[in-house]
Structure 1
């Protein structure tokens, strides 16, 4: 009886018809030099070929360090060999690597979501064991695991923000295709089998790869927002983005990727002749710094030559730098597909899903009854740097002008509840029953997503826990006096009836005069607004022009 084994299976793209077109430049060089063993067989599919890369035994690098201290050590030598088996079956070519043979595969020639699609068409969505995911809204990458199979929804996977990258699970007992499956680019399959049986297994895997059965399960979420892994498509998207920037279209803006709670004072660009500083991170500023050199802008420039840096109000924090590509936020339509970029990664969007998110975003925007207080712009003594006051400075001025209570950086502690420390809001408008959160700049996807979640969470705590409301009242009495505290107590009541959670975003308008936030932050806003409205809060988004 065959032993239980695990093989990794790759599917080669349909337009690749020859074994000679499968490998990296390094592998091809070795093959041309005769520095590999090549053997053919007819015992696996229509035809099969093994490429064995045998290496010369060498001493490991760490042995020299040990010899400096210890005497009489043996002359240890490692021999790291690998192989790739390529076979044709059912008009397609498949690859099975051994050891580190996968490093020799040219990833522009393989289907990058083959394993993932086979798995989601093979597993029941209540038998998922492990999911690798990337949460775009919070820039969190992680792995959710369970020692037992669970329903997909039990992992807390939001249909929009959590993109399934790799899934592992156990197949149904009635399915003799495999015992366990893991899918990403490669399909890892575990069952009792021999290598010669992989042709039939590959044939069934191809059927499941081409199936759309997953659309009837919770796995359909991957069609909402899908990461692009195909290298040829990625190159095309990068090139289209460059041409769009050069043409002056407003498809893209610039953002600071990653996470930072600190106030940014100035932005600048690296890799260019000019060294000016700007208060806003704008595409127009980048184009202006390029000047006539914009005609020679290319993909290499936005990926590695040109960058953005930020200087912070906190002098203890050094400059943060990142590439122009990593700073891009926006979308393109290429060959009928809608693609968005965030923090240097491209994603394909379901158009109906995007329209739903955009529609909700527009309904949440409220205009000001009169012109709002603007942030104060500061210019350095030499006139080369232009920046804005900090959020705290701005919030204090707003509180003084509008008769609000500034609670920015005022932490409430409620020992009796889980996670008992939280910031209620930045500004509290007691008379108009508004819980106001303020954020400078609408360009940071991860920061804005956290901003919306933070506002939703504080409202939930205040709504749910009477002791949290009492702590808030006491804090207001400390900050603004007893009269304000008594007014707040009366206004809050037992249920915060009639209160609105408002998000104020201070930023420069887009070229057409409108305001926008990154798409993935719009998803978070949509979801948190639903939660807040479910708690009977009003929800509003207002923009303050810089």
Structure 2
């Protein structure tokens, strides 16, 4: 029986081969004889000089110890394409822009038995959470808790289908394809021909439907083209280009922002891209002369009320933008937290079809306040039948705090839990939607949570009929309303929200639907007057007290 060997295989882009796919500073040697190479293949060897491992000197080991690093890259033309086979740690010598970044994953999806998966590497882009899940038995994708609506599949491992077992038995795919096979050297071109056919096939869509709704863009050439679109939008002040704080923040902490990179900036109490344009204009910066590196170098700074810096974020990382490329029909590209994602337009249309009917006209007053807390308190003060439960906790003793909602009232004969957020930032809205689901789950699972909610209602509800409200809650006759404070036109419905917020909303709405809890989204008109920027308060320099002898000399 032939011995099975491991291979790491890259597919080079059209136009790349052994003559132009390597970095200029590579140290590989191509003057090596090899009699068993496939026809027209090129061999490059890494043969480092012997050197002592770092721990020899660290522990002062007297015995002579050396180690060497060995590796090889074999470039193999197949038809009008070229493959690179990597042995050892040498793949980093390939140009980042020379190979197809989805080759390994697509071949894996097309070759694996969907019932015999072993491991997945996933990414939740909304929370930037990376996770590897391994199971001790061969399983289907559903057992890996893979959410097609919100999770990106980065890598997949498993056993191949019966029809491919003659070529290879196990496969793991990401940018490269890692396989185990017993084919001989002369059979490698035939193997690569079949891998190329698997890469070009869309058959995986039947076994893994909608598995690649969202895919991170890693191809440097494509990222360069997308960044060019960002620059165009920036220089023309495209209204679809927005700026946000790229992390979770607490708006009750008296948030202020300023900008840096072109000089001292004014301090503002809100974040939007017009502030950044005003900052650049004040320093006479020519937008047409700015490049992506300038956007990376300039920063958005969170400050306290006096302008003292707290956190700093690259402007590029803070941008949110959707665009398309001429050579990528049917796809939209989304920039979020400095990373590009490719989304199929059919998936975006499906998001809108599900979410848009869930948006309703607002039944809450307009927002004209300094903070969410002030707004919630004012709404409850203006209607005695509304209980303000902002910052309250209904968790059982000893558990993490869970806020039931911001406002609670009876509307159309049911208890209505309003969750309010002054933001269209993806992370903030994802937190809002999760909060609504978590509160309902807690009330369904913990009777103590309902008892605590009843006590809060009776204590905080100034008028109305608290008894009726409590009865509705205990009979589970309630609904959830997510209220988003924004200046955007409500007619935009789900398109007013960032992509990953729409994904989080759909996930939350489906969870509530499973619990038979009606839910909707409203846009609350933002009528707050934006404050003008102001200069930072200058710190007073402390003058050290002079010694008595010096004070005496000064007096003389």
Q: State the TM-score, normalizing by the size of structure 2.
A: 0.84
Structure 2 counterpart of 1:311, from 303, 310, 327: 303
Q: Does 1:202 align with 2:192?
A: yes
SS at match of 1:423: coil
SS at match of 2:376: helix
1:132-177 CA-to-partner distances (Å, cap 9, x unmatched) read 1111233322112211222112222222211111111112345313
Residue 42 of structure 1 contacts residue 48 of structure 1 at CA under 8 Å; is this kept in 2?
no
Q: Does 1:495 align with 2:476?
A: yes
For the structure 1 residues 536 and 369, does the alpha-carbon distance in structure 2 shift closer, same or farther, using more than 3 Å as the test? Answer: closer
Q: Does 1:342 align with 2:322?
A: no
Measured in 2, the distance between the counterparts of 1:217 and 1:307 equals 45
Residue 10 of structure 2 contacts residue 85 of structure 2 at CA under 8 Å; is this kept in 1?
yes
- Alignment partner, residue 527 of structure 1: 507
Structure 2 counterpart of 1:452, from 428, 433, 438: 433
1:175-233 CA-to-partner distances (Å, cap 9, x unmatched) read 313221000011000133444443222121111111111111224320x2222121101
Structure 1 counterpart of 2:293, from 300, 321, 324: 300
1:454-475 CA-to-partner distances (Å, cap 9, x unmatched) read 2123223335655542332133
For the structure 1 residues 468 and 104, does the alpha-carbon distance in structure 2 shift closer, same or farther, using more than 3 Å as the test? Answer: same
1:11-39 CA-to-partner distances (Å, cap 9, x unmatched) read 111222x4111111221xx46xxxx2433
Counterparts in 2 of 1:344-359, with a 5 A limit?
A: 344-359=338-353
Counterparts in 2 of 1:245-284, with a 5 A limit?
A: 245-261=234-250, 263=252, 265-284=255-274
Measured in 2, the distance between the counterparts of 1:81 and 1:105 equals 16
For the structure 1 residues 540 and 370, does the alpha-carbon distance in structure 2 shift closer, same or farther, using more than 3 Å as the test? Answer: closer
Measured in 2, the distance between the counterparts of 1:147 and 1:277 equals 55
- Alignment partner, residue 139 of structure 2: 150
Residue 109 of structure 2 contacts residue 208 of structure 2 at CA under 8 Å; is this kept in 1?
no
Shift, 1:94, TM fit: 1.0
Shift, 1:435, TM fit: 0.3
Q: Does 1:290 align with 2:290?
A: no
For the structure 1 residues 296 and 513, does the alpha-carbon distance in structure 2 shift closer, same or farther, using more than 3 Å as the test? Answer: farther
- Alignment partner, residue 518 of structure 2: 537
Which sections of structure 1, spanning at least 5 residues, go unmatched? Answer: 377-388
SS at match of 2:86: strand
Measured in 1, the distance between the counterparts of 2:487 and 2:303 equals 18
Measured in 1, the distance between the counterparts of 2:469 and 2:105 equals 53
For the structure 1 residues 40 and 453, does the alpha-carbon distance in structure 2 shift closer, same or farther, using more than 3 Å as the test? Answer: farther
Residue 490 of structure 2 contacts residue 523 of structure 2 at CA under 8 Å; is this kept in 1?
no
- Alignment partner, residue 531 of structure 2: none
- Alignment partner, residue 469 of structure 1: 450
- Alignment partner, residue 171 of structure 2: 181
Q: State the TM-score, normalizing by the size of structure 1.
A: 0.86
| Residues 169-178 or 365-374, more deviating | 365-374
Q: Does 1:323 align with 2:302?
A: no
Q: Does 1:48 align with 2:41?
A: yes
SS at match of 1:234: helix
Counterparts in 2 of 1:321-470, with a 5 A limit?
A: 321-335=312-326, 336=329, 337-369=331-363, 371-376=365-370, 389=371, 391-403=372-384, 404-414=386-396, 422-430=402-410, 433-443=415-425, 445-463=426-444, 466-470=447-451
Measured in 1, the distance between the counterparts of 2:300 and 2:420 equals 24
Shift, 1:95, TM fit: 0.9
Q: How many residues align?
A: 514
Shift, 1:51, TM fit: 0.6
Measured in 2, the distance between the counterparts of 1:539 and 1:325 equals 33
SS at match of 1:372: coil
For the structure 1 residues 507 and 481, does the alpha-carbon distance in structure 2 shift closer, same or farther, using more than 3 Å as the test? Answer: closer
Measured in 2, the distance between the counterparts of 1:272 and 1:364 equals 44
For the structure 1 residues 357 and 82, does the alpha-carbon distance in structure 2 shift closer, same or farther, using more than 3 Å as the test? Answer: same
Measured in 1, the distance between the counterparts of 2:95 and 2:109 equals 25
SS at match of 2:59: helix
SS at match of 1:19: coil
- Alignment partner, residue 496 of structure 2: 516
- Alignment partner, residue 545 of structure 2: none
| Residues 247-256 or 272-281, more deviating | 272-281
For the structure 1 residues 148 and 482, does the alpha-carbon distance in structure 2 shift closer, same or farther, using more than 3 Å as the test? Answer: farther
Shift, 1:57, TM fit: 2.4
For the pair shown, which has the larger CA radius of gyration, 1 or 2?
A: 2
Structure 1 counterpart of 2:180, from 169, 173, 190: 190
